[in-house]
Amino acid sequence: MQSDIKLKEEMSTTESIDCRPSNELLEYIKREQERWNSESKTVLDSSRDTGRGVKYWFCYGTKCYYFIMNKTTWSGCKANCQHYSFPIVKIEDEDELKFLQRHVIPESYWIGLSYDKKKKEWAWIDNGPSKLDMKRKMNFTSRGCVFLSKARIEDTDCNTPYYCICGKKLDKFPD
């Protein structure tokens, strides 16, 4: 009986010792991930576009965003983004949504989601899927086009003037 108790004590000590390196490794990985995320956010100078209403563009991870500060319709936004060789932004997942909502203060911006009247469904600009559950995010009323603000994602008439967010994934960073 005495040896059983002693064995259990040794095992519990051994388990906690074995877990400690794993916990330290997890903490290290978390710190490195946070450091990488902060380093991979790059604000790029857009001074070459002064006078066109372009505020700035920046990269986060492997995706770059271009904020155009001229209010325009959804189709105007789409055309402006194409002018800069960027599509109007498609939000891929919850993390990207939260990230963008932190950067749109205090304005509203068009995003690349609109209602396809022929198909009677919502579609992203590239007609591709997104991991973002839009049905859970908002109560669409089939009014046409979707804008993003700090507090919400909402649909409205496509002719309402808002600012634009353009965005795309990059294979490599510009020189």
Residue listed under structure tokens 């990207």: 96
Q: Where are the domains of the chain?
A: 1-40, 42-169
For the stretch 89-103, pLDDT in tens is: 998 888 888 888 888
For the stretch 51-82, pLDDT in tens is: 455 557 778 778 889 888 889 999 999 999 99
CA–chain centroid gap for 27, Å, is: 25
What fold is seen in the domain 42-169?
A: Mannose-Binding Protein A; Chain A (3.10.100)
Element (H, E) at 96: helix 94-103
Name residue 153's beta-bridge partners: 148
Q: Is the dihedral of CA 134, 138, 141, 147 positive or negative?
A: negative
Give the residue-averaged pLDDT of 36-54: 45
For residue 104, is pLDDT > 90? no
In terms of C-beta density within 10 A (0-12 exposed, 13-18 middle, 19 or more buried), how is residue 117 classed?
exposed
Q: What is the pLDDT of residue 71?
A: 94
The CA distance from 42 to 63, in Å, is: 10
Which phi and psi (to 5°) does residue 19 adopt?
-75, -30
Q: What is the pLDDT of residue 37?
A: 46
The CA distance from 161 to 140, in Å, is: 19
Beta carbons of 88 and 111 less than 8 angstroms apart? yes
**Which pair of structure tokens corresponds to residue 52?**
């066109």
28 CB neighbour count, 10 Å cutoff: 10
Q: Which amino acid type is present at position 83?
A: H
The CA distance from 125 to 139, in Å, is: 20
The CA distance from 164 to 7, in Å, is: 66
